[in-house]
Structure formats: structure tokens, C-alpha cells
A and B are shown apart, each in its own frame.
Chain A
Amino acid sequence: MRTDPDTAIPSEKMKPISDLAAGVRAVVRLLRGGEEFSHRMVALGFTPGVEVMVVHNYGRGPVLVTVRGTRVALGWGEALKVLVEVL
């Protein structure tokens, strides 16, 4: 499931979570970071298949996401590495 951070998006249905507006629900499909990044995200509940919702996204600065009943702030660069499929 782990891939190089610079690889292209593997499917047209997927997009980075940073593209999503507030209130949009989606399912996590892929984490495009290194091992350390993926490990931290997984421990916070971001596993492939989990449903997430964007709470705030102002188009810059960090994105606020709910996952497994908690709120997690992801820096813009980190949000770019989380590929999701909109529900």
C-alpha cells in the first residue's frame, strides 16, 4: 500500500484531501508519504478504508479533518499526501 510520495495519482476517482471543501465526506484510499509519515497517520486512525470528513479548509494553511471521532489538523503539505475518494 505504501508508495513513493511523488508517484502520480493511481486512479481518477482519488484526489488529495486538500482538494475537498468543508463538510465533504470521503474514504481514505492511499497515504503517499514515507514510512514515518504513514506510521504516524495510521496511529491517528488514517487507515485505508476509513471514512473522514473535512471540517475546515480555507484553501491555505492547515486542513481540519475528523477521523474516527477525533479532529486532526493536517498541514497543507500533509493534506496533499492523503488520497481520498469522495462519497
Chain B
Amino acid sequence: MSTSKASLTIALAGQPNAGKSTVFNMLTGLNQHVGNWPGKTVEQKIGLCTHNGQMIRLVDLPGTYSLTANSEEERIARDFLLREKPDVVVAIVNGAALERNLYLVAELLNMPELVVVVGVNMLDVAEQAGIHVETHVLQAALGVPVVPMVACRNRGVSELMDAVLRLITNPDEFAPNRPEIRTEHRAVLAEISFLLGEKNPLYPADWTAIKLLEGDAEITALVRQSMPEAWERIHTLLMQHEDAYMDVAGGRYEWIGRMMRAAVIKPKPGAISITDRLDKIATHPFWGLVLLIGVFGLIFWLTYAAAMPVVNWLDTQVISSAAENVRQALAPAPAWLVSFLVGGLIHGAGAVLALLPVLIIFFAVMGLLEDVGYLARSAYVTDRFMHWMGLHGRSFLPLFIGFGCNVPGVLGARIVEEHRARLLTILLMPLVPCTGRMAVIVFLAPAFFGKNAALVTWGLVAGNILLLFLIGLAVNRSLFKGAHSVFIMEMPLYHLPNARTIGLYVWHNTWAFVKKAGTIILLASAFIWLLAYLPEGNIQGSLLDTFGRWLEPAGRWLGLGDWRLIVALLSSFVAKENAIATLGVLYGNNATLGLAEQVAQTLTPAAALAFLVVQMTFIPCAATMAAIKQETGSWKWPAFSVGLLLVISFGAAVIVYQLARVMGYGG
């Protein structure tokens, strides 16, 4: 046998927090495709790489603790291994949590026809915690290739691929010591296996029998349906051995104990690790919260201090001068074309692209927090508060990501297992101010409020979070009748971040935004330009003008008597940051004054504040609505969300405007 096969398929398996994504990123870099598993709401990552001239197709399976069909992720990973039959399965295990991580390896070795290579990753974290792993001893015990790795520093990644290719050429090197069921259940296992028969239409009998003893719902249903004659007897046996499932798991851990005995030196009892020390603060009910708020503040401060000057520079220098150059270069061209290119494209979509620094900084910080292990702690300290809404700490993570962009936030709600809790998390998402909205705020607030801009911005964010809590409470009390959901979550050891992992995280999220700016926002800008140009080539008297003026009476309730602001708000449905693009199109064409200053000149402080409030709480953007539809499976929930937020945003803005006027800010 040789490696003449055109392309090998290798599946990457591993438990969460084992550094599997880092290995995947190290191997594939930008040669990866991120999508969904067919018909599922679970992310699928497939990448390509070459090693020693061999083309390899790498499939990153969802991170799962086991391969029993408890969750969608586990079902997907299992089905892939059973049906697609990858050439080799690479199991990435965390060297600092070897015992628990080998549980998945035990399950993999129980599965029929799989060839497994084990990569013991994060050995630096293990050493730091006083754990020493002798990988060659583990290899001898397991009978499968075991490769020592520190993937985040690119150590062992190439050796891992060497081991994979070696196993392809010398399949005899794979002589696994497979876990066996405890003696008291061997007889029943053999009997069920016999009843299933080797010729059964499903999966190999031994594996199916183990899954039946484990109480695996999917396999149980499958056997009951497709083998009714054998099922009766099997069912009786299973009823007699209801306790078998704890035994199967216990047996696997005993096997793991034997495999590890000589291979792992554990830390002295009583030793205090770095994680212990950091967690004294990070998971403390009070100090943990202080830290979280500090981290939050830092993210926003970074956005202000580092990104906004760049954004302003791009807006006033690059965009404006580009517009000027195009105008001069195209002087002989027809007026409508110049107007379209300058007013529609450059001032529209260009203004949105200028926001890239904000997004890059936000996702870089989030990627960093995730990679070092802090995000799990944020779920831990917020668990108490999430319980008020019938949610738990896990829901905090997607909501946190929603501050970057609501779309990955909605998709991220997948980590919340219960249906109702996930739905509520998704419904609350549009109240999380994303960078698109924040960009509009931080772009306009300094011009509107000068020195007080930061204060106003903080107030707006706090207002949104307060609204989120109130709506969460109300929905949980009324629609969901005070449901309680289960919080079980691993807290990984803290470890050093990996630049490549964070870089790719930033890249994927930013690229999605650039694509949006290049397509949906560009089209919307062009459309708005068209509405503002027709019928006479002048904004005054244009279709947009007419429509905006028609809405002005409603706008006056919140001080927005200027139709251009109403149109800007409506256009934020396309994408939140589009409000700036629209203002750019509608105000545009002033070489000396920045856009924000031009808008500020037309508004009283009360109206300016109302505009920011309504902008912060307005209906979800089109992309978020599409994501809500995709994740909830019906248009009912996006429609509900739009109705709810229309009421909230209009109500909040009217109240704020009227209050501010009473307090004398009405100009």
C-alpha cells in the first residue's frame, strides 16, 4: 500500500478546550471553508493542506465530550465517523486534562474500522500545572501513535502529520488496546450483539450493542424501528440491565486509568497553580464582576482611543479626497455618473468600510479573551444574573459576541442547549449594541455632545443592557413561564494566546463584514442614491425627500423633524452602519466640514440624544433577521422581534426626547 491516493480525508476529533481549532488553523491557515453541516445549525470547518507532497482534506469535527447522541454536535461527529469513513482520525487531547480527554479516545477506539492517531496537545500548560506526560509510554500502552504537541507554538504539528502518513503506509503499526466492558456486563453485551447479528442493516453489532447498553436514544430508536423481531428480546435484556450505562462509562475510565498509570506524573497535592490564583479573582462573585466590567470598559476604550482616530482620518482624508479625485478625473463624464460614483458609492459604502478598524480591534480582543480562557469565566460570574431571565451563564457568551456583530451572536447561541433558553438569547440579541450601531454612535456623539460624548455613549450602552434585562425578565415571566435551564460548563486552564488563532478569528469576522459592505451595503447605498436622485437629479423634491417628509409627523414626536435622519434610520435596516452611509449620501459634498459636524448643526441636543437612542434600539438589521430565521426555523420569531423592537425603540426615544426637553435641552 502506498500514499498514491489523490487526497486523504482526515477527521480532527477532540473535546472542547483541547486546542483542536489551533491545530486545524496551524495546518490549513486560510485554506479553510467555514459553513454549516448540511441541514444542521452546527458550524462545519473543512480545510486543505499538503504534507510531504500529499494532499490532505481536513475535516474539523465539532468539539464533543463523548460520542453518545446527547447533542446535535455529538450526532454529527458520530455520523461522520460512521458513514464517511475518514482515512485517519486524529484525536487531539489536552495534556493538562488527559484523564477526561481520553474518554473520547476510548469511544473512538470502540468504533468500528477507525484508524486513530492521538496528539497530546497543550503540554506547556500541563507542565505549568505540574503535570508531566511521557507520550512514548502512553503510545506503548494505547498501541496507537501518540505525538507530543504544543500546537499554539507550532510544536508537534508537523510530526502529527508524519505519524498520520506513516500509518497510511504501514497500517500494521495500528494495534490498539481497546477498552472492554466490565466483566459483569460482558455476557449481556455478547447476547445483544448476537441478537443484532453481524448482517444487521445498521452498524457493526458490537458497537451498536454498547450504544444500546449506554441508553443512546438515537441507536435505540433505530434498532426498534428496523429490527422489530429482535427488539423484543433486546428490550427485555436492556430493562434488566438499566444500570449498565454507568458501568460502560465507569469501565472506560478504568481503562483510561490503566493507560495513564505509567505515563503521567501528577502534581504534588496542595500545589497552587496559576489558574487557581487567577480564578480567585476572575470567578469571585464581587471581584469577578469588577474585572468583567473592567474588561468591558477596556474594549470600549480601545475602540475609542485606538480605532476612532483612524476611522475619522479615513473618513475626512481618504474618503473625501478619493471623492474629490474622482470628481476631478471624471469632470467630462455625465453629471449623474459622477453623482452616483461619488455620492452613492464612495460616500456610501466607503464610509462603512472606514469602520473596519473598530471591528478589527473588537474581534482581536474577543479572540484574545477566548483564547486565554477568560470567556468561560465571564459566563461563570454572570450566571447569577442570567438566572433572573431564566437563562444561565452560557447565554452570556453569545450576547457578549453580539457586541461585535449580532449575526455571529445569534449563531453563537447554539452553545445554549435548551431550546427555550436559546430562543430567548436570540430574541434578546438585537438589544445588544453591535459595532455597527456603536460605530454610528461614536461617529456622531463627539460632534453632538463634545466633551460629554463618552458619558453619553456609556449611558446609551447601559440603557440597552437595562432594557435587555427588563425584556428578558418580562419574556421569561410571560411567554416562557419561568423556565429554569441547566448550567454545566468546563472552565479551561488559563494559557498563553496564539497569534494565528486570534488572527484567523479576526480575519473570518472582518472578511464577512467586508463582503457585506461590498454587496448588500453597496447595493443599498446605490438604491438610496437612486431614490435621492430621481426624478430630477436633485435631493430636493426627490422620491426619498417625499417619503421622508411623509414620515416627518411621526418623527417630530422624538424631535426628528429632518426627513434625512428618518431615512438614515430606516436604511439601518439594511445594516446598522448604513445609517452613516445614508447620511453620507444625503448630506455629502462638503469638503471642509466632516459629516458628523454637518449633522450636528441641524439638531438640538434633545433631538440628537433621541436619534442615538432610537438608533441603538431599532429593529434588527436584515442579516440578523435572516440569522434569526435560520436558527429558529420560522419567520415568526424575526417578525416578533421587529414588532417588539419597533415599540421599544420608538417608545424609548419619545420618552428620552420629551424628558430632555423638559430639562431644557430642546434648544
- Cα A40 to Cα B284 in complex, Å, equals 26
Pairwise interchain contact B486-A77, C-beta atoms closer than 8 A: yes
Pairwise interchain contact A64-B249, C-beta atoms closer than 8 A: no
Please name all residues of chain A whose beta carbon is closer than 8 Å to the beta carbon of B491 when the two chains form the complex: 64, 71-73
Pairwise interchain contact B68-A43, C-beta atoms closer than 8 A: yes
Stretch among B96-104, B113-121, B161-169 lining the A interface: B96-104
- Cα A38 to Cα B68 in complex, Å, equals 12
When the two chains form the complex, which single residue of A39, A42, A73 contacts B489, counting CB atoms closer than 8 Å?
A: A73
**By the criterion of a CB under 8 Å from any partner CB, how many residues of chain A are at the interface?**
35
Closest Cβ neighbor of A67 among chain B residues: B100
When the two chains form the complex, which single residue of A2, A50, A75 contacts B392, counting CB atoms closer than 8 Å?
A: A75
Please name all residues of chain A whose beta carbon is closer than 8 Å to the beta carbon of B103 when the two chains form the complex: 43, 45
Whether A36 contacts B70 in the complex (CB less than 8 A), given A68-B97, A75-B392, comes out as: yes
Please name all residues of chain A whose beta carbon is closer than 8 Å to the beta carbon of B245 when the two chains form the complex: 2, 38-39, 42
CB distance from B476 to the nearest CB of A (A): 15
Pairwise interchain contact B97-A39, C-beta atoms closer than 8 A: no
Pairwise interchain contact B97-A62, C-beta atoms closer than 8 A: no
Please name all residues of chain B whose beta carbon is closer than 8 Å to the beta carbon of A74 when the two chains form the complex: 487-488
Please name all residues of chain A whose beta carbon is closer than 8 Å to the beta carbon of B276 when the two chains form the complex: 55
Pairwise interchain contact A45-B99, C-beta atoms closer than 8 A: yes
Please name all residues of chain A whose beta carbon is closer than 8 Å to the beta carbon of B393 when the two chains form the complex: 62, 73, 75
Pairwise interchain contact B487-A47, C-beta atoms closer than 8 A: no
- Cα A17 to Cα B50 in complex, Å, equals 50
- Cα A2 to Cα B249 in complex, Å, equals 14
Please name all residues of chain A whose beta carbon is closer than 8 Å to the beta carbon of B493 when the two chains form the complex: 71
Verify if A10 is at the interface (C-beta below 8 Å from B).
Answer: no
* Residue from A39, A56, A77 whose CB has the most chain B CB atoms within 10 Å: A39
Verify if A35 is at the interface (C-beta below 8 Å from B).
Answer: yes
* Residue from A41, A49, A71 whose CB has the most chain B CB atoms within 10 Å: A71
Whether A47 contacts B246 in the complex (CB less than 8 A), given A70-B100, A78-B486, comes out as: yes
Please name all residues of chain B whose beta carbon is closer than 8 Å to the beta carbon of A77 when the two chains form the complex: 484, 486-487
Please name all residues of chain A whose beta carbon is closer than 8 Å to the beta carbon of B492 when the two chains form the complex: 71
- Show the binding face of A for B, using Cβ within 8 Å: 1-2, 35-45, 47-50, 55-56, 58, 60-62, 64, 67-75, 77-78
- Show the binding face of B for A, using Cβ within 8 Å: 65-66, 68, 70, 96-100, 103, 131, 215, 242-243, 245-246, 249-250, 253, 266, 275-276, 279, 283-285, 376, 379-381, 383-384, 387, 392-393, 484, 486-493
Q: List 19 A-B contacts (CB under 8 A).
A: A36-B70, A39-B245, A40-B65, A42-B249, A44-B100, A45-B100, A61-B285, A61-B384, A62-B383, A68-B100, A68-B253, A69-B99, A71-B490, A72-B488, A72-B489, A72-B490, A73-B393, A75-B383, A77-B484
